[in-house]
A and B are shown apart, each in its own frame.
Chain A
Amino acid sequence: MEAINVIEGEIAVLDRSDVDTDQIIPKQFLKRVERTGYGEFLFYDWVRDGEIVLEPHPILVSGRNFGSGSSREHAVWALHQFGFKAVIAPSFSDIFYSNSTKNGFLPVELSEDVCQALVEAGEAKIDLENQMVSWAGGEASFEIEAEIKRRLIGGLDDIALTLMDEEEIEAFESGPGGTYGPVTTSL
C-alpha cells in the first residue's frame, strides 16, 4: 500500500448527499476480476449523462453518508485510480470508510460547514500526521483512529502485520474459540 501523509491541491466537488457505491462504480464494471482499470468508469452514468463533470484533483468533497450501500471495494479503487487521494465529507458509510483505509485512500470526516468552506476555497492541504485540514482562510482538525493512521502513514500491509502474530491465532484456534460453527468441507 502506498504510504500517505500530506495531500495538497485543488478540490473537486460533488454536491450530493448519500452518494452510494452503485453510483460511484455501476455494477456492469464489477464483472472484472482485476484490481485495476476502474478509474475511467467512475460515476459512469452521471458523467455519461453530463450531470456532473469531475476533474482528477487530489481532493474530493461531497455530502453526508458518502459511500453508502454495497460493500464493493471497486468504489474505492475507482475513486483512487481516477486520481483522487482523499475524500472529505460530513459522514461515511462504515464499510466504505474501512475499504478506503485499506487502499491508501484517505477518508476525512468534517462538518457540513467546513465542507462548505472548503468548496468555496477550492484548494486545501490535508496533514494526516497532525490531523489538520487547512485552506485559505481557515483550518479544522479531524479525527482518525490511531492504528489506522499509523498504517496509512507507514503504508503497512495489514495481512503481513497480522501474520506476525500467527501463533496467537493458532493458540486461539486450539482453545474453545476454535470450536464454533460448522465444518463447511464436510457438508
Chain B
Amino acid sequence: MPKTMFEKIWEAHEVRENLLYIDLHLVHEVTSPQAFEGLRMTGRKLRRPDKTVATADHNVPTDGTPTAAMIKDALSRKQVETLEKNAADFGVPVYSLGSETQGIVHVIGPELGLTQPGMTIVCGDSHTSTHGAFGALAFGIGTSEVEHVMATQTLLQNLPRTMRINYSGTLAEGVTSKDLILATIGKLGTSGMTGYVVEYAGEAIEALTMEQRMTVCNMTIEGGGKAGMIAPDETTFEYMRGKAGVPENFDDAVERWRQLPTDEGATFDTEVEIDASRISPMVTWGTTPGMVIQVTDTVPDPEQMDSPADREAAIRALQYMGLDAGTPMEEIRPERVFIGSCTNSRISDLREAAGAIKGRKVADSVRAMVVPGSALVKAQAEDEGLDRIFSEAGFEWRGAGCSMCLGMNPDTLFDGERCASTSNRNFEGRQGKGGRTHLVSPTMATAAAIEGHFVDIRNWS
C-alpha cells in the first residue's frame, strides 16, 4: 500500500502502538530545568545522552558576554548555569555561552548535521517543526514530555492526522519562503493545521533552498500544525554533505533517504492547493500570525468581517497595534527592525538582507539590529564581510541567540515601539511589553529599515 513520508517514519519508530522512539532530543535552558529536577527526584537516569544535545539560546545576551557566569541578569544567569550543570551531571553534550557551536537550537541542529531525514526529533520548543525541512518528523513537546524522553527515549503519541499542501507555480521575484508561509497561515488561519502533520509539496517547495525550506517548516506551529515536513531530495543531500554529525557512509545513507518521500497514490486526511505564483510580499497587521496581508493592501476594517469572534479580535488587535483601518501598509513606520530568530537568521537570510542594502543607510528614525542564529553563522558572515556591510549601513551586529524574538534577554522593544521583525510571533508583548510586531521577510525588513516605512520589495530598486 502506498504510504506518506510521515507514515513511513512513524511506523519505523513505533516501539509499540502509541509509543514512539525518539532519535534526537534537543534541549535548551528554559524548558528543561524542571525535567532534570524530575529525574533527580525520582532517581532516574537520562537514558540516552548520546541522542541528546543541549544549547543555551533564549536567555543569552547578544552583546558578546563570554560565559554564563558573566550574564548580568541573575535569573538568566542561574538558568544557563543550571543547564550547564544539568548537562554535566547527566552526560549530555552542551553548547553554552562561549562555545563555537552555541546558537538557537533550531539553527544548530541542521548546521551540525544532527538533523537528518527519516528521524524523529523533539525539543521542548514549539518551533522544533523547523527540522521537518529535512524530511524528519520533528515537533515541540512540553516539559513533562521532555522528562519522559529523558527517562525513556520514547514519547506517548496518538496518531495525528495528515495534511498535504501543494504549491503550484513558482514564487515571483522578491517573494520569499517567509511570504509563502505567512500567506498560507493567512489563508488557513492560526488553527487551520491544528492536529495535523503537514507535508509541504509541489513545484514551489522543490525550488526552495534548504534554509528557505526551514523557514516554511518553522512556522507550521503558527498555523497550529504539529509538525511540518518536506521530502528530502538532492537539495537536502547536498546541504548535508560534509556536516559534522552526518553518517560516515553518507552515500549509503542517501540511498536509504531516497526511500522516504511520499509514495504515488498515498492518501492524506486533507489536501490543500495554493498557487504560489500569486503570493505577494506579506506583512502582519495584528497580533496573531494569521492577521496578515499583502504589503500593497490597507489595514483591514473589522466592521467588514463576518464572524463576531474575528471582528472582536481585530478590534482589539488594531487598538493594541495603534493602527487605523484603511491605512496603507506602506505608510506604516517601524522604529525598530529585527533580523534574526530561528525563522530567518541563517547565513542565506543574512546574505539576502545584506545584499539588499546596496550602500544605503538605515533611516534616522529607525534602530535596526541583526542577530545571527548561531556562533557558526556569525563567524561565516564575518568571513564574508557581511558584518561590515550591516555596520556601515547602521545596523547593530550582535552575538548569536534568540534575542528580540521573545525578549527574554536584554534585547526588547519598549512600550509602544513598532518593529519590523523576521521572527515568527507577533503576539501582544512577545518582543517586550507593549511592543508592536510586524512579521516580514529579511529583505522586507531591510527595506523598511532603510526607508523608515514598509515598501513593496518588488518595486524597490
Q: CB within 8 Å of B: which residues of A?
A: 16-18, 20, 22-23, 26-28, 30-35, 45, 63-65, 68-74, 76, 91, 93-95, 98-99, 102-103, 112, 145, 147, 158-159, 162-163, 165-166, 168-169, 172-173, 176-178, 180-187
Residue on B with the closest CB to A23?
B428
A93-B224, A102-B144, A159-B148 in contact; A187/B112 too (CB < 8 A)? yes
In the bound complex, residues from chain B placing their C-beta under 8 Å from that of A145 are 158
Interface contact B31-A95, CB-CB below 8 Å: no
Other than the known A22-B425, A35-B34, what 5 A-B pairs have Cβ atoms closer than 8 Å? A31-B59, A64-B309, A95-B126, A184-B51, A187-B53
Could you write out 26 A-B pairs with CB less than 8 Å apart?
Answer: A17-B312, A23-B429, A28-B408, A31-B79, A33-B79, A34-B34, A35-B34, A45-B429, A63-B309, A70-B125, A73-B143, A158-B148, A165-B19, A172-B15, A176-B12, A177-B21, A180-B12, A180-B13, A180-B120, A181-B23, A181-B24, A181-B116, A181-B119, A185-B49, A187-B114, A187-B244
B244 surroundings in chain A (CB, below 8 A): 187
Instruction: Judge whether B201 is part of the interface by a CB distance below 8 angstroms.
Output: no
By size class, the interface of chain B is 35 or more
Which residues of A have CB within 8 Å of B59? 31
**Residue in B closest to A102 when the chains form the complex, CB atoms:** B144
Q: Among A31, A69, A94, A169, which residue has its beta carbon within 8 angstroms of that of B194?
A: A94
Whether B37 is near chain A, meaning CB under 8 Å from some CB there, is yes
Which residue of chain B has its CB nearest to the CB of A148? B158
The answer to whether B52 touches A184, judged by C-beta atoms less than 8 angstroms apart, is yes
A178 to B113, CA, bound (A): 18
Chain B residues with Cβ below 8 Å from A177 are 12-13, 15, 21
Asked if B51 contacts A27 (CB within 8 A), the reply is: no
Within 8 A of A (CB), among B429-461: 429-430, 433
Tell me whether A31 and B407 are in contact in the complex, defined as CB-CB below 8 angstroms, given that A65-B190, A181-B116 are known contacts.
no
| A13 → chain B closest CB, angstroms | 14
Contact of A22 among B13, B144, B312, B428 (CB under 8 A): B428
**B19:A158 contact, CB within 8 angstroms:** no
Which 10 residue pairs of A and B lie closest in terms of their CB atoms, listed nearest first? A181-B23, A99-B142, A102-B144, A33-B33, A31-B75, A182-B245, A73-B142, A73-B143, A71-B140, A184-B53
Which chain B positions have C-beta within 8 A of A163? 44, 151-152
Is B152's CB under 8 angstroms from A162's CB? yes
Q: What chain A residues lie within 8 Å of B42 (beta carbons)?
A: 159
> Which of chain B's residues have a CB closer than 8 A to the CB of A32?
75
* Given A22-B430, A26-B429, A181-B119: A91 in contact with B191 (beta carbons within 8 A): yes
Residues of chain A with a CB closer than 8 A to B126's CB: 69-71, 95
Total number of residue pairs linking A and B with CB closer than 8 Å: 202
A16, B287: Cα distance in complex, Å: 13
User: B358 contacts the other chain (Cβ, under 8 Å)?
Assistant: no
Write out the residue numbers on chain A whose beta carbons fall within 8 Å of the beta carbon of B124.
71, 73
A178 contacts across to B, CB distance below 8 A? 21
Q: Tell me whether B378 is interfacial, beta carbon within 8 Å.
A: no
Q: Which residues of B contact A183 (CB under 8 A)?
A: 50-51, 245
Is B168 close to A, CB under 8 A?
no
Also in contact, A182 and B152, with CB within 8 A (given A16-B316, A70-B126): no
**Are A169 and B429 touching (Cβ within 8 A)?**
no
Instruction: Name the distance in Å between B312's Cβ and chain A's nearest Cβ.
Output: 8
| A98 CB contacts on chain B under 8 angstroms | 141-142, 145
Q: How far is B134's CA from A48's CA once the two chains are assembled, in angstroms?
A: 43
Q: A23-B429, A31-B79, A45-B433 are in contact. Are A162 and B143 (CB under 8 A)?
A: no
Q: Which chain B residues lie closer than 8 Å to A182 at the CB level?
A: 24, 113-114, 116, 245-247
B82 at the interface (CB under 8 A from A): yes
A98 CB to nearest chain B CB (Å): 6
B153 interface contact, C-beta 8 A: yes
Contact among B21, B93, B114, B226 with A94 in the assembled complex (CB-CB below 8 Å):
B226
Expressed in whole angstroms, the Cα–Cα distance for A23 and B227 within the complex equals 23
A27–B408 contact, CB under 8 A?
yes
Contacts of A159 in B (CB 8 A): 42, 44, 147-148, 151-152
Instruction: Tell me which residues across on chain A come within 8 A of B73, comparing CB atoms.
Output: 31
